[in-house]
Structure 1
Amino acid sequence: MAYSPELLSPAGNWDCARAAVAAGADAIFFGLPAFNARLRADNFTDADLPELMEFLHRHGVKGFVTMNTLIFTGELSAAEEQLRKVAAAGVDALIIQDLGLARMAREIAPQVELHASTQMTLTSPEGLHFVERLFPLERAVLARELSLKEIDRFGQPASTPLEVFVHGALCVAYSGQCLTSESLGQRSANRGECAQACRMPYELVVDGETQPLGEVRYLLSPQDLAAVDQIPGLIQAGVRSFKIEGRLKSPEYVAAVTRVYRKAIDAALGKPTPAITATDRYALEMTFSRGLTPGWLSGTNHPALTHGRFGKKRGPFLGTITEAQNGWIRIDPPPSQQVPPLKAGDGIVFDAGENRDLEQGAAIWKIENDRIIFHRTYSGINFDRIRPGVTLYKTSDPALQSEIRRFWQNAKLTPQKTAIHLTVTGCPGQPLTLLGRTAHAPRPFEVISSVPLQPASKHSLSAEILTRQLGRLGDTSFELKTLDLQLQGDCHLPVSELNRLRRELVAGLESEPATPAPTATSVTVHDLLPPAAANAAADASPHLAVLCRSLDQLDAALAGKVGTIYCDFEDPRRYKEAVARAAEAPASRIHLATPRILKPGETGYLKLIERAAPDGVLLRNLASLEHYRDRDDLEKTGDFSLNVANPITAKLLLEEARLSRLTISYDLNIGQVLDLLQGAPPSWFELTLHQHMPLFHMEHCVFCTFMSSGTSYKDCGRPCESHVVHLRDRVGQLHRLQADVGCRNTLFNGRAQTGARFFPALVAAGLRHFRLEFLDEDFAAAETTLQNYQGLLQGQLQPEDIALRVAASEKLGVTEGTLASVR
């Protein structure tokens, strides 16, 4: 192995940064107040940057800034300003989601490394290759849904060095593809404002009947990732960087997790490091966990990922209550598990299968004769609710927290010494010259002996002697790395003179100014924007495209003589029949949708689409852009999932993928949409005017986990094909759940949203392409909804009439949704 794997730790504040350095991190990642996906973290300020980077570099640690959110058109100048500050502070790398921002970073701050964030949804080698066409990368952070076998298929070495998450919270939805917070509360996950709807309870409604699942209510809340045992396999797969999630976590979490993974990586590299112990595993579970799992790295096992019993921190399982009295309990520990020690002050929670907001917990008062005793007054426990059969979890260990806190607070952080490379020249009768070079000094520093070299009668100056004398750098900030001996003949110089030369060299190098931080270029955001152009469609009539998810809906669209029809079927084998039906209606052109996610080895789905011979394709991921890049015989539309939020991103994708149009990101409200249409030709874009917003798009299969006894599509019995399933949220709203060809689940908002009220403003801005998306409407409902929107586009209906008319054909009504949101 020609590289040393990197351990990358999170830092939400200064204490977390110090804890990460103390525990052995090679690099940390952190955010600034804007453009980062953890806005609830303390984060660092622009003023912190120089001091933070100096601290990190002094200890041999790198610093990566997260700018991993979408960038709206009106924010491009502010993003440019932040890029310049990052470059000036000597930041080592930028972690970026938005493709337009990545192009800006490459052009404006080219000396800062560019890392593709996991929010870029890199799930296959083909998707990575497409991004590499746009700009060179120094790192690609892969989606957390990939297995070891799938990561290995990126190649060794991969075209771009790979990074994976190895520990921390798992998002149930693909990063960069979660619209839940945006749709339900106008708090976009793509903007760092995730509301964690996945951690809420849901009811499972199958064919109209609520299923009795008992205490299983957290249907979308995964356990936490712990890949400590997968480190050797990940190294073998060529992974270069191991990332710990947790910028919202405490410095104790950062320190505890970092030092365990430091041990695991060093052990995998064959360094003399103790093996991972039960104490290490306990620390991982105790500092924060909802239960630990290897996630998707070991392959698909849906029930092991999401058991549904709770969504909060739990910690280690202690056992089941066998006896309960007023003030004390006895428990039966699990037979096959090492139970962590219990002591006074430890926190526990009683898991009675009840509403998690009402569950009880307290600190242990004392332990006597295998009885766990709680203070009757100050514990606050209602002992009438404590009974045999209730399970117990340990939620806090103050002693462990104190030990970890002392560890990172008292750690003696040794500054990394600067390596000196020495060249020694001279000959008898001439002075000895030392030329010292370091990576940070802008030029070599030279010192010359005050006396000439003498011919050596006995002990000439050898490389060993010079290394010993000149390498005595003691408490200085330097260490001798290499010595190039170029003396001519046998030479001698007094030791006192060698010592004087060493001191003068150190003083000179210390006085040399450090190499200035990389500076930004003169390129501005305006240089990267598309040129202003007249809107070619200004006089054209508005065009309505319709997306259908069933043959009934397709028949309604064909009957309505829709010009462009997108088909998005769960079973792509039915695409051939859809194309055949459309061929009988020459006024309609049919486009087939790709899956939203493509993983390694799944391009066969795209070939299935090609064999159906459509007029065009609706491209939903970077891999499909790469696959169809040279297919100029097909009309190609980029879908919302490509996250087009600004003109620079639009220009990149339109030109490199040779697209006809791009669907505007669902993260934009009406003001931001109008800004985008002003910043780029409106003819580039299509806007979804009516839809059921896709909330979660996830590898996790609810059908398999909670409606079968299987673990994957191989043994689940495919309940998704024979049942209509909804999830009911806490306010009683039903949301439709569907599976796609890859068994990935999408949860759709039960309420449709309409942008009808904004139609006149959009047309005035030059937009001519609009889309209507069906979900589960039958022929009659689809026909009615379509006729209403056709009436709107033809000027026969007023915008304010649409919501009322469409609500009549929708069981759950409509809302203006995200277009109307104001931030």
Structure 2
Amino acid sequence: MRAELLAPAGSYEGLQAVIQAGADAVYIGGTMFGARAYAKNPEKEEMLEAIDYAHVHGKQIYLTVNTLLKNQELYGELYDFLAPYYEQGVDAVIVQDLGVLSFIKREFPNLELHASTQMAITGPKSAGLLKEAGVSRIVTARELSLKEIRCIYEETGVEIESFVHGALCYCYSGMCLFSSLLGGRSGNRGRCAQPCRLPYTALEKGNRISRQEQSYLLSPKDMCTIDILPEILEARVYSLKIEGRMKKPEYAAGVTAIYRKYLDLYLKGNRAYEVEQADRQELLDLYQRDGFHKGYYYTHNGGEMIASFNEKEQNRKQNKVGKRNEVLFERLKKQYLDTKKQEKINGNLILFADTPAILDLDFQDVHVQVQGDVVEKAQKRPLLAERVRQQMEKTGQTPFVFDTLEILTDEAGFLPMQSLNELRRRGLSKLQQQYLTRYRREHLKRKGTEEPFEKRVKEQKTEPLKLYVSVEEKKQWQTALKQKEVTGIYCSMSMLEQNRFLQDALLLAEETHRAGKEIYLTLPYMLREGKMDGMEPAIKELAQKTEGFLARNLEELGYLKELGLLEKTVTDFSVYSFNNEAEAFLENLKVKRTTMPLELNGSEIRHRYHENSEMIVYGFYPMMVSAQCVKKTCGRCDRKSGEVQLKDRYGQEFTTKCFCDFCYNVIYNSIPTGLLEEAEQIKNLNFPAVRMNFTKETPERMRELLEVFAEAYLTEGKNRKKKDTEKLSGFTKGHFKRGVE
């Protein structure tokens, strides 16, 4: 069985440490576009050196470009950022953005693409979609079970990479806007401020349901899978990924060394696979949050996975001294950071009087020869072979060390030590460069520009603006039916009884059409475990009886693609189209419309092509979509969909909805976004449609909001009635004004 141990590097020093500790491959970010913007990411020259360092030692190196890019970054910066690393021979790039995927596939066709866990790939449909788009490896969502991972491999054959150790996000990666909306630091841009690690109180109907000592409800324990490594490999995971680019090099090296030990034990076919207690304790000493758990491989969710007490934070509050194992960290530093890794080479040195010195070197299948100064006849003390050997074997900080060095000499000549040193230096340099030529790529002339898109932006058609609404409850749907300004309604699947799904959906469609409105079925925020398998006949029938579907993730996009229904599919904001390339990717799939991402500001939107997009102008924005359940963490799971409130340390309350039919939670912002005063600016952007998302509003509140927003967006200024908007205050502007870094 083939397997790869993939370690994190937050710096060049960290890369050297994990390679020394036994990593087969390393993932690392540069100065731009990585999901760990605050790591000690190498500058250009250091990154080029890191690529060579990895290759000389027979390792792979993957560059993280796993953030969402704005148009000016994609077209103005990405090519120049990637080109030197591409030419140097970086092995793969890890991507989140569909536009980045398309851009790299076109501009750097020989570069492997790995789909980041930030893409929230949860099943074979999304994996198949991305494989078809040119991705060679899938980094699975961390929430997947071993059964789900095996299913992806068996249905697609794509190479699988999965996390085996380290920190976990509470939210599905890539689906989190918590840090972004609260403080402008976007996880999708590598700048997460980790508000999930702060204390919260859970309330249900005003009553506290979380225990007093249970404050850190959104803070998962770190994952440790050393005990189930064989099962993970047997689920056909090829690359075992360790999290930790923001942690110290000693941590990354220590974890890598232990996983290397047990991976080798398994690969050697040792049936007595058992983890020693000392190794398990060492992993705990390196870093942990209230202990470890085995991740989601066998568990869907639960309070035992959450570090709700947060012992480290409690110690800090009580001014208790930390318990870091300094002896362990010092040992790891000496073992992996203070030592150098060198590859064995073979040499042959010829030194005869009156002839040039000749050095032959061999490394694996590479042979080089260099010629030095002429060896002079010794006048007093000739160079003896042993003295020459001592000098030549001083390979210093080079990546090589002599395994064998044969010296052929008549011991009758003399050569200054400086000449020997120069001969060795040139020989080792030539050997390294000759070996690395196999990784080098030719410089490619840039193929595309943004000009065709710029032209499309300028030529976007102006048509009468349409107003759509999204609803999650039947009473909201009934309210929307009565509003003549509403063109169409997105109805959540959560409104439908599972055992009457098709029947209820057809009734909704019939009544909505009778009211003269379009209807779309909104699919869940997260689709997993084949939850919609067997529903294909019903979905196909609904495609005939409705205007289509709202897809909220790549798994649903792949699902609808297999059914041939993409022309009836609207993608939600969470199927990110941050830039024109991403928009074009979705258009090429023939989707009906896309939705503008929530993190772009007005200026950035203006320069993005959006003739086929709609923009959300009102709603309690979802900040987290999680496989975890707040009620279950608090021991209150009743398997019934409902809602609780999360109160932060400032008293702000965030509605959290439990969607039990698909088993996930959505945490909404405490304040709705309302772009009412910005209506004229948004209308001037020439969107074909705007949307209002309703989640917990009463029918009365809905009517108030619809009346005022319809007046602002659908009525020309001279015909607009004056409305009392004071009662509609309290909105946030989202990112329309500020955007994200």
Q: Contact 1:670–1:758 (CA<8 Å) still a contact in 2? A: no
Displacement of 1:124: 0.5
CA-CA distance at 1:88 after TM superposition:
2.2
Question: Separation in 1 of the partners of 2:576 and 2:442?
Answer: 30
How far apart are 1:208 and its partner, in Å? Answer: 2.2
Q: Identify which of 488, 492, 497 aligns with 1:564.
A: 488
Deviates more, 1:512-521 or 1:760-769: 512-521
Tell whether the 8 Å contact from 1:756 to 1:802 is kept in structure 2 after alignment. no
Q: Which position in structure 1 is the counterpart of 2:624? A: 696
Question: What residue number does 1:463 align with?
Answer: none
Counterpart Cα distance in 2 of 1:209 and 1:554:
29
Q: Determine the C-alpha separation between the residues in 2 that align with 1:207 and 1:93.
A: 50
- Structure 1 156/543 Cα, relative in aligned 2: closer, same or farther at 3 Å? closer
For 1:270 and 1:6, locate their aligned partners in 2 and report how far apart those are by CA, in whole Å. 14
Comparing 508-517 and 140-149, the one that deviates more: 508-517
**Counterpart in 1 of 2:445?**
522
CA, structure 1 residues 274+298, in 2 after alignment: closer, same or farther (shift >3 Å)? closer
2:512 aligned to 564, 582, 587, which one?
582
Determine the C-alpha separation between the residues in 2 that align with 1:410 and 1:565. Answer: 63
Question: Retained in 1: the 8 A contact 2:99–2:585?
Answer: yes
Match of 2:329 in 1: 401
1:323-354 superposed Cα distances (whole Å, 9 cap, x missing partner): xxxxxxxxxxxxxxxxxxxxxxxxxx75xxxx
Q: How far apart are the structure 2 equivalents of 1:798 and 1:93?
A: 57
- Asked if structure 2 preserves the Cα contact closer than 8 Å seen for 1:223 and 1:292, the reply is yes
1:53 Cα deviation from its structure 2 partner: 1.5
1:295 match: secondary structure: coil
Residue 684 of structure 1 aligns to which amino acid in structure 2?
Answer: N
Aligned partner of 1:240 in structure 2 is 238
Give the letter aligned to residue 81 of structure 1. Answer: D
Contact 2:107/2:446 (8 A) holds in 1: yes
Answering whether residue 737 of structure 2 is matched by residue 820 of structure 1, we say: yes
- 1:118 match: 117
Match of 1:253 among 226, 248, 251: 251
- The residue number in structure 2 matching 1:548 is 471
> What is the 5 A alignment of 1:487-502?
none
Match of 1:361 among 304, 312, 320: 320
Greater alpha carbon shift after TM alignment, 517-526 vs 591-600: 517-526
Q: Secondary structure at the match of 1:239?
A: coil
The 1:539–1:55 alpha-carbon spacing in structure 2 relative to 1, beyond 3 Å, is closer
Aligned AA for 1:669? N
Q: How far does residue 622 in structure 1 lie from its aligned partner after superposition?
A: 1.5
Q: Distance in 1 between matches of 2:200 and 2:625?
A: 16
Residues 1:19 and 2:17 aligned together: yes
Give the Cα separation in 2 of the matches to 1:296 and 1:114: 25
Assess, with a 3 A threshold, how the Cα gap between structure 1 residues 645 and 801 changes in structure 2: closer, same or farther: farther
Point out the more displaced range, 537-546 or 748-757.
537-546
Aligned to 2:588: 655
State the alpha-carbon separation in 2 of the partners of residues 654 and 416 from structure 1: 53
- Aligned residue in 1 for 2:373: none
User: Per the alignment, do residues 675 and 512 of structure 1 end up closer, same or farther by CA in structure 2, a change over 3 Å counting?
Assistant: closer
Shift of residue 512, structure 1, vs aligned partner: 7.8
Q: State which drifts further: 77-86 or 404-413.
A: 404-413
Looking at structure 2, the residues matched to 180 and 698 of structure 1 have their Cα atoms a distance apart, in angstroms, of: 12
In structure 2, the CA distance between the partners of 1:183 and 1:242, relative to structure 1 (3 Å rule), is: same
Instruction: Name the aligned partner's letter for residue 541 of structure 1.
Output: P
> Which residue of 2 is the match for residue 376 of structure 1?
none
| Residue 418 of structure 1: how far off its partner (Å) | 9.9
Q: SS in structure 2 opposite 1:164?
A: strand
| Alignment CA distance shift 1:527-1:543 (3 Å) | closer
CA distance in 1, matches of 2:57, 2:128: 35
Q: Given that residues 535 and 683 in structure 1 are in contact (C-alpha distance below 8 angstroms), is that contact kept between their aligned partners in structure 2?
A: no
Query: Hey, what does 1:276 align to over in structure 2?
Result: 275
Of residues 48, 51, 66, the one that matches 2:49 is 51
Per the alignment, residue 599 of structure 2 pairs with 667
**Correspondences of 1:667-686 after superposition (within 5 Å):** 667-676=599-608, 680=609, 682-686=610-614
CA distance in 1, matches of 2:103, 2:161: 22
What is the aligned counterpart of 1:774 among 681, 694, 700?
Answer: 694
What is the CA-CA distance between 1:274 and the residue it aligns to? 8.9
Q: Secondary structure at the match of 1:818?
A: coil
Residue 651 and residue 633 in structure 1: after superposition, are their counterparts in 2 closer, same or farther (change >3 A)?
Answer: closer
Q: Secondary structure at the match of 1:526?
A: coil
Inter-CA distance 646–267: structure 2 relative to 1 (3 Å threshold): same
Once the two structures are superposed, what CA deviation does each residue of 1:414-458 show, in whole Å capped at 9, x if it has no partner?
326699xxxxxxxxxxxxxxxx999987xx9899xxxxxxxxxxx
Please give the residue correspondences for 1:724-735 in structure 2 after superposition, counting only pairs within 5 Å: 724-735=643-654
1:598 equivalent to 2:531? Answer no
1:640 touches 1:664 (CA, 8 Å); kept in 2? yes
After superposition, the C-alpha distances for 1:51-71 in whole angstroms (9 at most, x for unaligned) are 111222222222111010001
Matches within 5 A, 1:769-808: 769-795=689-715, 805=725, 808=727
User: Counterpart in 2 of 1:295?
Assistant: 295
Q: CA 1:557–1:305 in structure 2 vs 1: closer, same or farther (change >3 Å)?
A: same
Kindly indicate whether residue 101 of structure 2 is the aligned counterpart of residue 102 of structure 1. yes
1:699 touches 1:743 (CA, 8 Å); kept in 2?
A: yes
**Counterpart AA for 1:260:** I
Shift of 1:556: 1.2
Structure 2 Cα separation of the partners of residues 478 and 611 of structure 1: 69
Q: Counterparts of 2:339 and 2:718 in 1: how far apart (Å)?
A: 69
Give SS of 1:791's match.
helix
Give 2:638's aligned amino acid: G
Once structures 1 and 2 are overlaid, which stretch shifts more, 534-543 or 769-778? 534-543
**Equivalent residue in structure 2 for 1:211, among 196, 209, 219:** 209
CA separation of 1:673 and 1:799: change in aligned 2, threshold 3 A: farther
Q: What's the CA shift for 1:557?
A: 0.9
Give the secondary-structure state (helix, strand or coil) at the position aligned to 1:107.
helix
Find the residue that maps to 1:216 and give its secondary structure. Answer: coil
Provide the C-alpha distance between the structure 2 equivalents of 1:418 and 1:156, rounded to a whole number of angstroms: 45
Instruction: Provide the rounded CA distance (Å) in 1 between the counterparts of 2:708 and 2:165.
Output: 50
The alignment partner of 1:599 has SS state of coil
Moved more, 747-756 or 297-306: 297-306
Assess if the C-alpha contact under 8 Å between 1:704 and 1:718 holds in 2.
Answer: no
SS of 2:7's equivalent? strand
Name the SS for the 1:362 alignment partner.
coil
Distance across 2 between alignment mates of 1:818 and 1:296? 33
Indicate the residue corresponding to 2:414 in structure 1: none
| Correspondence 1:220 to 2:213 | no
CA–CA separation in structure 2 for the residues paired with 1:193 and 1:696: 16
625, 639, 645: which one aligns with 1:718: 639
Aligned-partner SS, 1:556: helix
One of 426, 443, 455 as aligned partner of 1:532: 455
**Counterpart contact for 1:7–1:262, Cα < 8 Å:** yes
Distance change (3 Å), C-alpha of 1:104 and 1:529: farther
Displacement after TM superposition at 1:409 (Å) = 2.9
Equivalent runs, 1:145-184 vs 2, <5 Å: 145-156=143-154, 158-184=156-182
Q: AA paired with 1:816? A: K
1:59–1:416 CA contact under 8 A, matched in 2:
no
Q: Is the 8 A contact 1:789 1:802 kept in 2?
A: no
Q: How many residues align?
A: 666
Of all paired residues, the percent bearing the same amino acid is 28
2:356 equivalent in structure 1:
none
Stretches of structure 2 lacking an aligned partner (at least 5 in a row): 348-360, 371-392, 410-423, 498-503
Provide, for residues 627-651 of structure 1, a one-character-per-residue CA deviation record: whole Å limited to 9, x for no partner: 2225459632111111110000110
Deviations 1:517-570 (A, max 9, x none): 113422344179647348787342111110011111111111003111101242
Unaligned runs of 5+ in 1: 315-348, 351-356, 364-394, 420-435, 448-472, 481-494, 497-502, 709-715
Are 2:589 and 1:627 aligned?
A: no
Partners of 2:573 and 2:346 in 1: CA distance: 49
* TM-score (norm: length of structure 2): 0.83
TM-score by length of 1: 0.75
Amino acid at match of 1:123: T
* 727 and 510 in structure 1: CA distance in 2 versus 1, 3 angstrom threshold: closer
- Which stretch shifts more, 753-762 or 698-707? 753-762
1:684 positional shift = 1.4
Code of the aligned partner of 1:733: Q
In structure 2, what is the equivalent of residue 765 of structure 1?
Answer: 685
Change (3 A) 1:632 1:64: closer
Residue 472 of structure 2 contacts residue 495 of structure 2 at CA under 8 Å; is this kept in 1? no
Shift of 1:750: 1.7
